Amino acid sequence: MTKYQKHDGSVYEGPVLVMPDGRIKSGATLTADSVRLSLMPERSRDADGGFQSDDPSTPQVNEAWVGGKAPKKKAVRKKKNGS
């Protein structure tokens, strides 16, 4: 079963509704309690179960991730100098 991620970072594994514009909502029907979901990134595995690496000869596809795209990196907050 495909795993989805809520905006707060928690994992959702229930029924989903795909809207015509491509958004993914939780629940089998659209209600006021439905929240927007996004696909969780998943690493590709080889036949032995180990992680598969990216092939540098194909720059447009990332074989290390299911779906061919790596997740975006989160921005790192700078620490404030507390003086």
Burial profile 61-83: b = 16 or more Cβ within 10 angstroms, e = fewer: ebeebbeeeeeeeeeeeeeeeee
Residue 50: C-alpha distances to residues 28, 47, 61 (Å):
34, 8, 19
Over 90: is that where the pLDDT of 39 sits?
no
pTM: 0.53
Contacts of 33 (CB under 8 A, 6+ apart): 26, 27
Model confidence pLDDT, tens digit, residues 4-37: 888 888 888 889 998 999 888 998 888 888 888 8
Quote the pLDDT of residue 50: 93
The average pLDDT across 48-57 equals 91
What is the CB neighbour count within 10 angstroms for residue 37? 22
Name which of 77, 51, 47 is nearest 65 in CA terms: 51
